[in-house]
Amino acid sequence: MKVLIWGTGDMTSRYLAMQEIEEDDILGFIESRRTKDTFHGKRVYEPQEIGAAGSYDYIVVCIKNAGREIRQTCLETDIDIRNVILMDNWEWLDGRVIEEDPPACCRKIIDNPFAIQEILPRFYEKYLKEKDVQAGRYMTISRNGYDLCETDAPMLSEEYNTLQYQTDYFRYRTFELIANEIIRSKVAGAAAEVGVFKGAFSRLINRKFKDKKLYLFDTFESFDEEEFHYELEQGRVPANFLKGFAATNVAAVLKDMPYPDRCIVRKGLFPETAKGLEDERYAFASIDVDFEKSILEGLRYFYPRLNNGGAIFVHDYNNRFLEGVKIAVNTYESEIGKLLSKVPLADEGGTLVVVK
């Protein structure tokens, strides 16, 4: 069996580590646009060049969420799509109703004529096996709107197709869509996150708002001990909570930022670290500090400075283990004498979206 592997990223490396395909059976690798000459000691081809690789049996695509584009590239370069194995072989139909099975929701991008389960059992088990067909359809449908709303959604890219981001998909994807509206409406102001930890959300904020300043407010040493002990006495956090958030530092966070030159680190306890920023205005802010007092301080600072059309994400609002968050929101509404415009999300942490 001779194969070409489409993709030269981490996913390809992880699949190669399974050692399902013998090294001598790999003719080379494919990149839609070549960025390197060799990969794992083999030549890297562009699609129109693969005739030079010799006779092959299959092209194994180790890239997620690119099936439609790869199918189109194959058609344009006379590659037989019947020999192409995709990791994701279903797509949403852009709302079009067609007579097809499964009806009116999703369809196969490539109709493979061979038994992948027998040919590449490890690839099948890892990437293709549908343990629950209906759940698989819902996962496909949940991506509706990607190609209609934008062409470069980070959450669709391989870079963000990780456990960190996909297990909290609804929070991050909702942020992307709200960010699109903020950008489209040209809402002025900076972006910010209070409670950066290792920077997973900050990284996405930085990616979407590449033209905005991004303030990173955090101690980078876990929570304030006094506030932690108060929450512990209230029975809102476990005893090991403080230690669990100490594994971070400024250098590691900035290293992961797509545009670190746009990031402004404010290290220390909030709101003291906001001194000097009394006149700053914001288009977006994430408040993810878990505890009642800090959440309240975050709302007191950011909400009056949030421009119309902007949004604040308050993490853990509906998290039953961090009940101080909802108390803080209620307290702030009492202070300002009105209800905030609130939209709760059904994400992992029970995020609350506050809009102006």
- pLDDT for 142: 57
pLDDT digits (tens, 9 = 90+) for 200-222: 999 999 999 999 999 999 999 88
Give the chain's length.
356
For the entire predicted model, the pTM comes to 0.65
List all residues 6 or more positions away from 211 whose beta carbon is below 8 Å from its beta carbon. Answer: 262
Residue 130 DSSP one-character state: -
The reply to whether 228 and 108 lie within a common domain is no
- The confidence score (pLDDT) of residue 250 equals 96
Distance of CA 203 to the CA centre of its chain: 9
Decide which of 88, 122, 140 is a domain's last residue: 140
Same domain, 164 and 133: no
Bridge-based pairing of strands 352-355 and 341-344 is: antiparallel
CB atoms within 10 A of CB 107: 17
Last residue of a domain, one of 106, 140, 174: 140
For residues 121 and 14, state if they share a domain.
yes
Amino acid at 166: Q
pLDDT, residue 130, reads: 56
Q: DSSP label at 120? A: -
Structural domain for 56, as ranges: 3-140
Using 70 as the pLDDT threshold, list the residues of the chain that sit under it.
91-107, 130-151
Does 19 share its domain with 163?
Answer: no
